[in-house]
Amino acid sequence: MNTLTGKHILLGVAGGIAAYKSAELVRQLRAQGARVRVVMTAGAQEFITPLTLQALSGNPVHSELLDRDAEAAMGHIELARWADALLVAPATADFIARLQQGRADDLLTAVALACDAPVAVAPAMNRAMWENPATQANITALKARSIHVFGPAPGKQACGEVGPGRLLEPEQLVTALTGLFETGALSGYRVLVTAGPTREAIDPVRYISNHSSGRMGYAVARAASEAGAEVVLVSGPVSLDTPERVTRIDVISADDMQHAVQERVADCDIFIAVAAVADYRPGQVAANKLKKSADQMTLVLARNPDILAGVAALPDAPFTVGFAAETDAIEDNARAKRVAKSVDMIAANRVGKGAGFDTPDNALQVYWQGGEQVLPLTDKAKLARQLVALIAQRFHDKHNKVIRFNAKDSA
């Protein structure tokens, strides 16, 4: 497994001679474990056939903006939502100009406009076209809008000239694309994440639990690791693979989870509590399987420790992020929970009726003192990356304030 494993890469191909390299690029992306879909401009299809890219990507190639079949399945909005990243390679001078203008008159520009995932262009064109002030102004404007520009490389060009304008080689593009996910926003920091449900034993064969699948917590752990953090994941019982470079500690009950967290919390800078910890456990665990006899049975429950509140109350508490699983009054309940547990940030999600628990998608409303942000419905992997980027921002803001405060104090 590597960073691109399982990532949804939308490859845009514009009409230039370097379009032939997109075939090898698709092959290499898939070899890295990425899922690839291709959008071609009309011009691109003059240089390479959709069939080639369809065969290599394993998915139909998209090219029409107004396509009845595509609208029913993968129209421009669905494609934009599907993408974890959009890379346009090659990006011609014309495509770059149209992207800069915010046009949406063909499928590729429309997808780019609708895409809230990272967007990158890999320019490929004649040297003079690249150096032309019009293209350079367009590139500057794209960079100012956080669009990434990979290349171009200098060298001998298809037109016979020598200079900048060559498309980067496929392996260089794969590396650059990997860098979009490995942001470095948490490089050098240690993150402790809890995920999944807990199980509270009733007797040797029965327990109380909930529907948490661990997907959200595992996605957060993976996103934090990709952001450069050293990540420890304390996980309740789930059937998920451990994300790359993440240290996983398996636990069963809330009590186990609390111990695992307490043992490691002194070594972390950020604590993110995604686990759905059971609030109560049976007061007594029966030594033997309970027999059915009476028509009714009463279980006496005891309160479990609040792991998150315990961490936030530590004298040297890390930056703490809680989740709030709510069925109603989401904002009010989440804000109240943040204050009651004294945490830096809280990410609230609606749960129940097919939302939140055990679903591939989720949406979050994130609150902190003096701020909030909505992260709209998307798949949990993408959502986790957005959340981790936000956590990194807030964490660094708080960190810098503390450093400034201490510096003032000692002056």
Residue 159 appears among annotated catalytic residues: yes
β-sheet bridge partners, residue 323? 347
Query: Is 15 an interacting residue with respect to ligand PMT (CB under 6 A)?
Result: no
Q: Is the dihedral of CA 352, 358, 361, 363 positive or negative?
A: positive
Query: Is 270 an interacting residue with respect to ligand PMT (CB under 6 A)?
Result: no
Closer CB to ligand PMT, residue 84 or residue 106?
A: 84
For 366, phi then psi, to 5°, come to: -110, 135
Choosing from 106, 200, 226, 306, the residue that interacts with ligand PMT (CB under 6 A) is: 306
Nearest in space to 228 (alpha carbons), one of 185, 274, 268: 185
Which region among 44-52, 222-230, 349-357, 365-373 touches ligand PMT (by CB under 6 A)? Answer: 349-357
How many Cβ atoms sit within 10 Å of the Cβ of residue 27? Answer: 13
Closer CB to ligand PMT, residue 135 or residue 304?
A: 304
Q: Which of 159, 290, 302, 403 is catalytic?
A: 159
Residue type, 383: L
Three-state DSSP class for 366? strand
Tell me which H or E stretch contains 77.
Answer: helix 76-82
Closer CB to ligand PMT, residue 63 or residue 235?
A: 235
Closer CB to ligand PMT, residue 21 or residue 281?
A: 281
- Report CA-CA distances (Å) from 84 to 4, 5, 188, 240, 381: 10, 11, 25, 20, 9
Query: Is 324 an interacting residue with respect to ligand PMT (CB under 6 A)?
Result: yes
Q: Is the dihedral of CA 138, 140, 146, 151 positive or negative?
A: positive
Site map 196..235 versus ligand PMT, x via CB under 6 A: ----------------xxxxxx------------------
Residue 83 CB, nearest approach to ligand PMT (Å): 21
CB 157 within 8 A of CB 236: no
Which region among 5-13, 20-28, 145-153, 317-325 touches ligand PMT (by CB under 6 A)? Answer: 317-325
Choosing from 23, 308, 366, 387, the residue that interacts with ligand PMT (CB under 6 A) is: 308
β-sheet bridge partners, residue 345? 321, 368
Q: How many residues of this chain bind ligand PMT (CB under 6 A)? A: 28
Residue 148 CB, nearest approach to ligand PMT (Å): 29
**Residue for token digits 């092959």?**
27
Residue 204 CB, nearest approach to ligand PMT (Å): 23
Which region among 48-56, 123-131, 350-358, 365-373 touches ligand PMT (by CB under 6 A)? Answer: 350-358
Choosing from 61, 74, 96, 275, the residue that interacts with ligand PMT (CB under 6 A) is: 275
- The number of angstroms, rounded, from the C-alpha of 103 to the middle of its chain's C-alpha atoms is 27
Choosing from 26, 191, 232, 277, the residue that interacts with ligand PMT (CB under 6 A) is: 277
Three-state DSSP class for 318? coil
CB 61 within 8 A of CB 53: yes
DSSP 381: H
Residue type, 347: A
Which region among 60-68, 98-106, 227-235, 276-284 touches ligand PMT (by CB under 6 A)? Answer: 276-284
Choosing from 192, 271, 322, 392, the residue that interacts with ligand PMT (CB under 6 A) is: 322
Q: Give the β-pairing of 280-282 and 301-303.
A: antiparallel
Compute the distance between CA of residue 369 and CA of residue 190 in angstroms, rounded to an integer.
23
Residues designated as active site: 159
Contact set with ligand PMT (CB under 6 A): 194, 212-217, 254, 273-277, 279, 304, 306-308, 322-325, 337, 349, 351, 356-358
